[in-house]
Amino acid sequence: MPKLNEAELMARDAGRDLDAELREAAREMQAGKVGRVSVVSRDGRVVESPVAKARLTSRLSQSQFAELMGVSVRTLQEWEQGRREPSGAAKTLLRVAQAHPEVLRELAA
């Protein structure tokens, strides 16, 4: 995707209603809807973050999710941003979190 100059950015954003967009995003979050959770890799590619999606689906904060996973918040952030890969056991727990987010919410309570 080519970078836009200042005039192009202003033209693109002129018709946006940011207030409405933010309110809609907040409603979706409250309803537990999670869309694509993506990060930009170092080489400029946009990739989906299954770790962030699992955490958001379970409706847990980074600190709550990290505690349940048995890792530091920093490690969780590294996973979410694609800078590090979870271990085999952590990958299994992440699959459980994606398939059954209610289990993690129950454990966090």
Position 11, amino acid = A
- pLDDT tens profile 23-60: 987 887 677 666 666 666 667 777 778 898 888 888 88
- The CATH number of the domain holding residue 95 is 1.10.260.40
29 lies in a domain? no
Is the pLDDT reported for residue 71 higher than 90? yes
Please indicate, yes or no, if residue 2 is contained in any of the structural domains. Answer: no
pLDDT recorded at residue 47? 72
Instruction: Tell me: pLDDT of 2 over 80.
Output: no
Please count the structural domains in the chain.
1
What are 73-102's pLDDT values in tens digits? 999 999 988 889 999 999 998 998 889 988
Identity of residue 54 = A
pTM: 0.62
Answer yes or no: is 10 within a domain.
no
Is position 17 within any domain?
no
30 is a domain residue: no
For all residues of the chain together, what is the average pLDDT? 84
| 32 domain residue, yes or no | no
CB within 8 A of 12, min separation 6: which ones? Answer: 4
69 inside domain: yes
Higher model confidence: residue 6 or residue 44? 6
Instruction: Supply the range of the domain harboring residue 63.
Output: 37-109
Give the pLDDT score at 1: 56
Q: Kind and range of the H or E element at 28?
A: helix 18-30
Q: Answer yes or no: is 13 within a domain.
A: no
Q: What does each C-alpha distance from 22 to 1, 19, 25, 28, 32 come to in angstroms?
A: 24, 5, 5, 10, 15
